[in-house]
Amino acid sequence: MVRSLALIGGALWLVVGLTHVAERWQIFPGMGWGLPNSAGHYLDLFSAITGGALLLAALLAWRFSK
């Protein structure tokens, strides 16, 4: 369970990194990278918050399972 949480959390942070690359290089301009209330903004926000929460949950689960 801990590995699954960490893997999914890490994958979501990878999505955050890729959205920043896509924003910089203007890949998929229809996503509205960098604009408030755009699909790209919400993809980045969702991935960052959810990834961070899952990584924190994995850390706490690993810490308290010992």
**Which residue carries 């604009």 as its tokens?**
35
- Cα 62 to the chain's mean position, in Å? 21
pLDDT at 7 over 90: yes
The model carries a pTM of 0.88
Domain positions in the chain are 2-64
How confident is the model over 26-56, as pLDDT tens digits?
Answer: 998 888 888 889 999 999 999 999 999 999 9
Residue partners of 20: CB distance under 8 A and separation at least 6? 44
pLDDT of residue 55: 97
**12: its two tokens:** 């979501």
pLDDT at 66 over 80: no
CA distances, 19 to each of 15, 28, 40, 45 (Å)? 6, 10, 7, 10
User: How many Cβ atoms sit within 10 Å of the Cβ of residue 23?
Assistant: 19
